[in-house]
Amino acid sequence: MSDLSTLEPPKQGASIASTVKHASPFIGSEVSGIDLKKPQSEATIAALRKLLFERAVLFFRDQHLSPEQQLKVTEYFGRPKVYGEARMGSPYPGVGLIDSIHEISGRVDRWHADLTSADEPITVRLLQAVTLPDLGGDTIWASTEAAYDRLAEPLKRLAEELKAIHAVTPISISEWDARRSNFHWTEHPVVRVHPETGRRSLYVSPRFTPEIVGLRPHESAAVLKVFFEHIIQPEHQVRFQWEPGSLAIWDNRSCLHYAVNDYGEGRRVMHGTSVEGERPVGVKS
């Protein structure tokens, strides 16, 4: 456990110091003793950014942020991505509703980073739990940086040479039909270099990476299988059990996530905000 306030002298009268507890060896830290409803100092924001880039996902309990407050916290990590139209039925500009009653967007029980089929995928994502089922509905994240670091050297060299197609691959036939009209795909390097830290990550996912560029279909499928199975090894994972008001902030460049779909008819509603994207940079680009 470390102290976030070591980067900032504790203020007079502050009753609880922010503490940071790592949730697993390679990924995820829980930050307590911080009320994100209140404006944070430049030093605290810098410390949170640094911690996020190191740990890929941060967890906060009991925040209960209004949509406006969540957008304000989003700004600590860059310019919020605000779509021109309300998304997924959200009445709040810039804040998406992720609701389990929506078959497609509400239950993404497949490993992915968010919308990497974009040319400039979002960099940071914030998700706050609003309504939760009685049991279940956890989210799991896997560190794609730890996955790269722990890849065998010859496979690292292979991965660094490759580019992959990123597209919305369907969860169900109905989703494929819904997406066909606005199908978009792009190419990204298979090893991505983080612009803030220089760390390398394995930048592919089962949901968004159907194919490696330049390989035959059976070669591509075999190589991707190796990468996918490696990324999601339990050693690279952290699992978070949500409570109402819990907030998770993740670096969409250095981890994958999976929404565990184990709550049947239960309702799960989250508020999501995003930071504008950037074009992924590889080792050789």
Provide the binding-site residues for Fe ion, judged by CB under 5 A. 114
8 Å CB contact between 4 and 44: yes
- 21, two tokens: 């507890």
SS3 185: strand
What does the chain come to in residues? 285
* Chain position whose Cβ is nearest to Fe ion: 114
Least distance (Å) from Fe ion to the CB of residue 283?
26
Cβ-based nearer residue to Fe ion, 162 or 248? 248
Strand order in the sheet with 211-212: 185-189, 163-167, 211-212
Q: What is the largest CA-CA distance in the chain?
A: 64
Shortest separation between residue 207's beta carbon and Fe ion, angstroms: 8
Contact 249, 125 (CB under 8 A): yes
Nearer to Fe ion, 220 or 246 (CB): 246
Smallest separation (angstroms) from Fe ion to the CB of 46: 27
Going through the chain in order, the beta strands assigned E by DSSP cover 2-3, 19-22, 29-32, 57-60, 96-99, 124-131, 139-143, 163-167, 185-189, 191-193, 200-202, 211-212, 237-240, 247-251, 255-259, 269-274
Q: Are 47 and 4 in contact (CB under 8 A)?
A: yes
Three-point CA angle 194, 198, 202, nearest 5°: 50
The least CB distance from residue 208 to Fe ion, in Å, is 10
Q: Which is nearer to Fe ion, 199 or 207 (CB)?
A: 207
Of the two residues 99 and 114, which places its CB atom closer to Fe ion in the complex?
114
Q: Which is nearer to Fe ion, 189 or 272 (CB)?
A: 272
Q: In whole angstroms, how close is the CB of 112 to Fe ion at the nearest point?
A: 6
Q: How far is the CB of 269 from Fe ion (least distance, A)?
A: 15
| Minimal distance, residue 257 CB to Fe ion, in Å | 6
Measured distance CA(46)–CA(106) in Å, rounded: 32
Q: Which is nearer to Fe ion, 30 or 114 (CB)?
A: 114
Q: Supply the DSSP string of 100-154, one letter for each residue.
A: TTSTTTS---S-B-TTTTSSS-BSEEEEEEEE--SS---EEEEEHHHHHHTS-HH
CB of residue 158 vs Fe ion: minimum separation in angstroms? 27
